[in-house]
Structure 1
Amino acid sequence: MILNRAERMLARRYLLPGKGEGFIFLVATISLIAVALGVAALIIVMSVMNGFRAELFDKIVGLNGHAVVQGYEGRLPDWQRIADTARKTPGVTSALPLIEQPLMASSNGRVEGVLVRGLRVQDIRSNPTITSNVLAGDIKAITPGSGKIAIGSRLADTLGAFPGSEVSLISPEGRSTVVGTVPRIVSYTVGAVFEVGVYDYDKAFVIMPMQDAQELLMLGDQVGMVEIQTSNPDRVSEILAPLRPLVEGRGIIVDWRQMNSALFQALEVERVAMFVVLSLIVLVAVFNILSSLIMLVRAKTRDIAILRTMGASRRGMMKVFVTVGVTIGSLGILLGIVLGAIFLFFRQNVVDAIQVVTGQNLWDPSVRFLTDLPSKTDPVEVTAIVLTALILSFLATLYPAYKAAGTDPVQVLRYE
């Protein structure tokens, strides 16, 4: 929208409070702040929701892969052939054998359910989700035959264990006696404590070399599953389609969507719902712009009539009031972006401060899976939020601008 010099001067004049126009200026300021808060709330919530999804995806996939070929009854026959075929499949970046079995762990008189995971030593050391999150001990100490294991930080707290502590793993697959099957109990030394940031994993995971897991579970040279990573997790089903005939009868292929379908679907639904609900804040804010412009038009009716008699066009008056409203909305949007960026930068400090003031644990990791408040800002979503607020601000200016342009100078100035 191109304004001439006179129209720019009028728009600038109407943006600033005149004599007796303090209330109109107050309403316009409230409108600006309301738009800012609406835009900031949208940016903050959408960034946090994106952060949730990204953090959960990275950490869950970092431990479980994009898909697993899982054998029936916890055993995968001919796993070497399946792994080799998977590696040769286009789109597959890695196929790693592993063993995963729920067992019981005991230490210091405490007993907890755990998920034992057996990996090759090179796979343990090359997994950044584990190696980059070691809190105590040395992950390099986890070697076959060493009798050392790595456990999650929450499990370590529950068992009262630390590097050097003894932890007994109890397997129901024990030896048969005349009185029945005796559970197999093997003691290990904690070599490292890690924290990936997902509560359920940190509270249950026990990592050990594959040879030790095979011996503990009496699997021989068999494994329980093959973990697969692909080049595109969103196309994992298509990429692994050629592998299904080979796996049929031996096990099933489960991808990351199936393993965590309820969680990711709930996040997506909540993300859309929050966007719609918070957009109402922006809508309410633009109604404030509408009301402030209507008040401004009524206050400036005499001025508009004089300008019309001096040659101002209807189109020119419309442009002036549209510019005033869009400027208020644009300033609110800019302020909202700044507020959103500041809040996201200090988000964890804000959560900690609220917890201190209220005395409540707002970020219980056992409920919210992650130990910290995540954030990932999507420029495309921010652009969509800005455009939505800008369009709503523009639409809110049309009626007051139309009323201003339709002012009849004869009627207004008849008794002047």
Structure 2
Amino acid sequence: MILSRYERMIARRYLLPGKGEAFILVVAAFSLGAVMLGVFALVVVMSVMNGFRAELFDKIVGLNGHAVVQGFGGQLPDWRNIVTIARATPGVTSATPLIEQPLMASFNGRVEGVLLRGMQVKDIRDNPTINTNVVMGSLASITPGSGRIAIGSGLADALGAQVGSQVSLIIPQGQTTPFGTMPRIVSYTVGAIFKIGVYDYDKAYVMIPMEDAQTALLMGDSVGMVEIQTNNPDNVGPILAPLAEKVGDRAVISDWRQLNAQLFEALAVERVVMFCVLSLIILVAAFNIASSLIMLVRAKTRDIAILRTMGATRGGMMRIFMTVGTTIGVLGIVLGLILAFIALYFRQRVVDFVQVISGQNLWDPSIRFLAELPSKTNPVEVIAIVLISLLLTFLATLYPSFKAASTDPVQVLRYE
């Protein structure tokens, strides 16, 4: 929209109404503030929800893979063959054998439910989700036959255990007696403590060499499952289809979407709902811009008539008022983006400050899975928010601009 010199001058003057028109200025300021808050809320909420999903996905997939091959009956005796077939499948980047078994752990009279995970030592040390989050001890001390394990920080806090503590695992597989199967109690030394950042994992996981897990659970040379990583988690189904055909007679494959379907579907629905609800703020701001422009047109009716008699065209008048309304919207969008990026940068400090002021725990990891408030800004979404805001602002200027352009100078100046 190209404006002539006099149109730009008049638009600048109308952006700051004169004396006696303070109410119009107040309404315009509220309109700008509404656009700013709408853009701010949309960018912050969508970034936090994107960050929550991405962080949760990375943590879950980092430990559980994109898919798992589970044997019928809970065991895979020929797991080496399955690992070889999986690694030869196009699109598969890794195949890791592992054992998972829910057990009970005790230390100094405290008892907690745990999830024992047996992995090959190389896989434990090479897993970035684990090796980059060790807070105490060292994974180098976790070797087969050493009697050492790695536990989550939440579990360590619940048990009161530290590196070097002797933690006992209560294993239901034991000696059969006339009174039933007697559970066994096996003691292990804590060699490392890790903090992944997902509350459920930090509170329950116990990492142990696979050989020690096989011995403790009386599994012989079997494993519980094979964890699969692919080069495209969103295309995991087609990638693993050939593998499913080859192992379908002895195992079943479950991918991350099936294992966490309810969680990620709920997040997807919530993102759409929040976007639609928060977009209403910008829609209300657009109505405010329309209202302020209508009042400005009524207040400037005499000026419009004089301009028309001096040769101003209908198109020129439309451009002037469309520029005024669009400028308010653009300023609101820019301020909203600046405020949003500042809030996202200091998001955890803001949460901590509000918690101190209110005395409430706003981010309880036991409820929200993650230890800290995440954030991941999607440039495409930010551009979409900006375009939607600009579109609504532009549409809000059409009716007032048309009314200004259709002003009849003869009727207005008849009694002047």
TM-score by length of 1: 0.99
The superposition leaves residues 78-134 of structure 1 with CA deviations (integer Å, 9 ceiling, x where unpaired) of 111111011011000000111111111111111111100001111011011111111
**Aligned position for 1:235:** 235
Equivalent residue letter for 1:54: A
Look up the match of 1:333: 333
- Determine the C-alpha separation between the residues in 2 that align with 1:148 and 1:80: 25
1:179 and 1:282 map into 2 onto residues whose CA distance is 70
Task: Return the offset for 1:179.
Answer: 2.8
Q: Deviations over 1:392-416 (max 9, x none)?
A: 0000000000000000000000011
What secondary structure sits across from 2:106 in the alignment? strand
Match of 2:219 in 1: 219
Conserved 8 A contact 1:351-1:362: yes
Q: Which residue of structure 2 aligns with residue 376 of structure 1?
A: 376
Q: What amino acid sits opposite 2:401 in the alignment?
A: A
Query: Gaps spanning 5+ residues in structure 2: where?
Result: none
State the Cα distance separating 1:189 from its structure 2 match: 0.5
Letter in 2 for 1:6: Y
The DSSP-based 3-state class of the residue aligned with 1:270 is: helix
SS in 1 for 2:363: coil
Match of 1:193 in 2: 193
1:258-277 map, 5 Å:
258-277=258-277
1:247 aligns with 2:255: no
Per the alignment, residue 316 of structure 1 pairs with 316
Residue aligning to 1:344? 344
For residues 173-212 of structure 1, the C-alpha deviation after alignment (integer angstroms, 9 at most, x for no partner) is: 1111233211121100011111101111111100000000
CA contact (8 A) 1:333 1:386 kept: yes
Amino acid at match of 1:167: V
Contact 1:321–1:400, Cα closer than 8 Å, also in 2: yes
Partner Cα distance (2:51, 2:243) in 1 = 33
Amino acid at match of 2:361: N
> Normalising by the residue count of structure 2, what TM-score does the alignment of the two structures yield?
0.99
* 3-state SS of paired residue (1:114): strand
Matched-pair contact (CA < 8 Å) for 1:77–1:250:
no
Distance in 2 (CA, whole Å) between partners of 1:386 and 1:194 is: 41
In structure 2, the partner of 1:393 is 393
Aligned to 1:293: 293
Deviations 1:319-338 (A, max 9, x none): 10001000000000000000
Count of aligned residue pairs for this structure pair = 416
Structure 1, 82-91 or 14-23: larger mean CA deviation: 14-23
Shift in Å at residue 36 of structure 1?
A: 0.3
* Counterpart-to-counterpart distance in 2, 1:14 and 1:55: 48
Unaligned runs of 5+ in 1: none
SS at match of 1:371: coil
1:56-67 superposed matches below 5 A: 56-67=56-67
Residue type matched to 2:318 in 1? M
TM superposition shift of 1:282: 0.4
What residue is the counterpart of 2:49 in the other structure? 49
Write the distance in 2 (CA, Å) between the matches of 1:365 and 1:291: 45
Shift of residue 268 of structure 1?
0.5
Instruction: Indicate whether 1:178 and 2:170 are aligned.
Output: no
Distance in 1 of aligned mates of 2:315 and 2:239:
59
Q: Tell me which amino acid in the other structure corresponds to 1:280.
A: L
